[in-house]
Structure 1
């Protein structure tokens, strides 16, 4: 796309909204009579509402109305100038300014309500002296209702009310279905328009363009020419965006694209989100010389992650007060003591879920039952209301952040007993047993493939797993494993995800750039897509709590 074309698109993109504004508010917007059908309701649907008693009285006034309904119509000066009687699209000698037609309905009564100014009532009613002592208030000729039995329509005519800028009034219309009409379907929408006028040769142009000196009628939002301007503007913006995104020879990178190789370590539960963010960073920074190795064993767990980061800093000989710029580790919660050179930074919070094989027959456990299951005191799911299936507890290795979060947040600080078999495949399907696995993916595979198995995982990772159809995410005391469950019902199994650096990552390093991308740029969207709450949006970003 050449520079001249870009300039013209930019000029047109600026000119069209200016012209649209001038047209809408300085030309057609000067004189605009707007209307809104604020309510069109059957009487049967109004039971229990404040106006139900009033409507009931109307239904029994004189005769029983058939399938009664009522419409609340608001007429307003939606322009910037005063509307006078000459502005209505009607014959000057005709007292009516607005005609409202109700198809398939008969008008039973019309009531003026809620005028913005008391003077508005004077256009609808007048006092007539019947004798020396009696004065009766009657409707003026411009305020009438009539019914056309041949066409099965009811009509309400409203007078040419002078409306100051922002002035309005409402009319409540009570209707019924025509006696001979045996239909039960919904009624057509009311048709609101000005009177037909004098059938002048230029009236079609008047109705289309709605110029300021003509008699006008309009919806509140926009006239037809303004719609055309808006559509052209949208097309111009779309064309420019397409050129920028798809046809430009140079991709615009994020704010900080730094070359070099970045090594990632840590949590297997947080790994899917970090892996997706890393791939997005490489895609956006194509050409910057950045590299992030992502093998199947890149993420080994929170404890192994901080250990690998600590060792990488020592191997690089980083002096105290300096930082390592090509390694990051992610952990579920704060790492254990013993790594004085590592600095944590809260990134997001994750919600974890207990997952059980569907054959267990459970969907909810109390907190006490969860603790009993993981303590080894429940050997069969029938003991907690499930099926007659032996319990198989699948734990993560002791270095897992998911496991440490389970222990601290759910199990009251008590570690589960040691495994009964070293390989989950060796569990006897007829007997209770425990085993341990090294990754979240293996955990979900084992839980999905073994009847009666129970494990745990980052909640968002369960639904997309290949074994999801065989798994149930358990609620704890009825509290769901979602961010809303944490915020609204204090669901207990969640943890803050931290990014660790060896010292402060040097400015301009690939580690610092990726952290910025993850916490301040497009990486935030990736974390959201994977179901994580952002620490930068928490009430206390330093504490990073979802509550």
Structure 2
């Protein structure tokens, strides 16, 4: 169970991290080249690289930087997402410490639509100011910058500090942030570690499954259980028993659902230790101290009055008068001129017992009325009371 839970939790956490954390707006920058343009060897024809100049003056310590700007998030970046003032024309500022920018050209566009937005690119001292370029997912563009020493002296080691993003943009882009990215030629170490962990988890689950496939679940019981009691519970009980047997094949059930009263009486007679269970839709009667009630559900009882009676509503006192025999015709309570006929559950029914106790104030239904009707109904085919040819015109049944 613990392994199964991990099998669900780990991918869920990975998905949340991927889409909620990494999926925010992210603008990435990558320095793909930062090298000197000096002739450090014995080149016979240095050509243009040996003639880099600014306003006709040769560069003292020329260097070249190739910079890639890219949308690394999972959502688009709009010009309003750049975390700068609205009146600021620049969305990103890239600084080259210790150097001054001589010139910049755009060398690559992932989408030609980016060209019009890059018209506002400017250069100032050691800064390249990039405009607020709208970028769809996976969009990128590249800049090639020519630089020289800021103080006019040549570095003996040719090393300058790495280019860096400066200004307020470093704090965020549309709820995300700007990050320095790295070129990856394969799957990341984090992804490989996650795949390896999931693979181990799957193997462990398989081992546990195959070792336990021939054994019953730890919470299964075996043996035979007799179930009796309420006929109202029978469909639900049988379905529950089938579901239990599907998982616990060593369990067997016997059913004797003949009414709440009979079920409780059989259980009481069986005594302590009996492998028996009784369902009742009524309260446990007095005189059975050995039985312990365990409530499992709420049951709603109602009375049904035949529409042919003309009665649509009955008050509690009218119901009691009906069952006391004081009302014998429906016209006495505003209905049609039809004789009252009562139909009820059998005497051992928990439904009937609850009805007598809660509605009739504990008085038993008169046998000369409802019992006779029950005897007539029992033994008839299903739906007899609803058949127009045989249905009593006036029925009242709980």
With normalisation by structure 2, the TM-score equals 0.49
Larger radius of gyration: 2
